[in-house]
Structure 1
């Protein structure tokens, strides 16, 4: 997402203007003649980096060739293999998923899908193909959380339903995986509103910039039966613009609304979504590597959550 003021906080609660990844707790630099550095060490995980620390000599002759131990070479090979696997998975999505219905159109009717293509590669989708981008304040939900939220969006849905996913791609992937087991003729329509163009590999993708909250295709106004919203920043400005988008998108009669954001935003969420009956629930979404206290707000109770009371805190 784009930066907009120095007071905004991302999902980690950090200032938006300082959203660079934290430096490792320690980093070893090797002084080489002519001030060369082994920058490859910084590109791999801490555990693999230790192999380099243990196997690279601390000093070199100017003409001495640099060599790595078999363990260090194996770690480097594993790193590149993982990177190549992610790139192949993404390329497979790019060349396979999008062309079936035309990426970027937004709403895909069930009859537009190709059942032959679906059956030919009946593999579940994974967020592993989309590494988190901290510049976008991206932190994916754990699978358990993503599926729990997807199940609530699908509850009561039918082929005449339209489900919107706003800045919550991990839930979109969970929805796609759940719907693999639904008959094509029964599947609801999905729309993914997302700023990250990597997700344009999916035909349900619609570009969304919260700085322009209503700059969306006109036919989507009042079209959603249910929606999930996960604003990337803990600021009143960001939350307000996402709420404008959500209220513009949902149908006027009994839409299902889920908002996932920090506990600290409870007051503004109550104000922005009061007309839709959204309240804090007992369900707490979980992210990998993110310790902020996250709440799920919704305008309905379910088997997964109840309304949160003061005693729940």
Structure 2
């Protein structure tokens, strides 16, 4: 190999790369600190920041902005009582917002493939939408959840269909369900679980190129179906 033929990075490109790596290292360090201090954080009900978790684009992770996460968390809080079970499926941003609002609520669970969220211990359920009923405690969780939020990570029929299989399994007979996914999934969301498109537009911190919408099986004063 002739090393003279290897292109050198421009000063601007090199600076951008160094900045990216420095930011990544800072985020890694923040997460490790959170993990090390998890017991104290949970014991004292300290607020958790989603900025402590890097988005993993390979897992199609795109965190909600604060307003969106808080809106979803409030729906869950307002429609449940202390003993009701709540599931946040592939929706860790909304789960963290809910936990910050109501740290005393121990029946809220985050279903996630990303094992960084196992720091939430008993409230973490390792979940793979490709195996919709093969998660820990699946049998005991059947028909137990009063409120479910689902944000399937990929915009395709299989991902939404398999996630809804999980939703149908864990949902109580009177469960309220929210689905946050692309506008292209409207027909399938209604077909699979009777969820209708609402006027709420979920937003993400970094923005998304696809139009994102919220579907639900219920309405309230803040969440209304769109006439269609």
TM-score bin (small chain): 0.7 to 0.9
Structure with more contact order per residue of length (Cα contacts < 8 Å, sep ≥ 6): 1
CA deviation string 1:246-271 (max 9, x = no partner): 0001112x111101111111111111
Q: SS state of the match for residue 94, structure 2?
A: helix
**Among candidates 123, 129, 144, match of residue 52 of structure 2:** 129
The corresponding residue for 1:283 is 200
Aligned alpha-carbon RMSD (Å): 2.6
The corresponding residue for 1:92 is 33
Q: How many residues align?
A: 222
- 1:1-313 aligned within 5 A: 33=4, 35=6, 37-38=8-9, 49=16, 76=19, 80=22, 82-97=23-38, 117-118=43-44, 122=46, 124-180=47-103, 184=104, 187-203=105-121, 204-216=123-135, 217=137, 218-252=139-173, 254-274=174-194, 278-287=195-204, 288-310=206-228
Q: 1:234 Cα deviation (Å)?
A: 1.7
**Aligned equivalents of 1:247 and 1:259: distance in 2?**
13
Q: Report the structure, 1 or 2, having the larger strand content.
A: 2
**Aligned equivalents of 1:230 and 1:263: distance in 2?**
13
CA deviation string 1:259-305 (max 9, x = no partner): 1111111111111002xxx2111111111221311111111112222
* Structure 1: 5+ residue stretches without partners: 1-31, 53-74, 101-112
The two structures have a TM-score, normalised by structure 1, of 0.64
Q: Report the structure, 1 or 2, having the larger helix content.
A: 2
Q: 1:162 Cα deviation (Å)?
A: 1.1
* Structure 2: 5+ residue stretches without partners: none
Rg larger for: 1
User: Does the 8 A contact of 1:161 with 1:188 survive in 2?
Assistant: no
Q: 1:96 Cα deviation (Å)?
A: 2.6
**Aligned equivalents of 1:35 and 1:280: distance in 2?**
53
Q: 1:35 Cα deviation (Å)?
A: 3.0
User: Does the 8 A contact of 1:166 with 1:228 survive in 2?
Assistant: yes
The two structures have a TM-score, normalised by structure 2, of 0.87
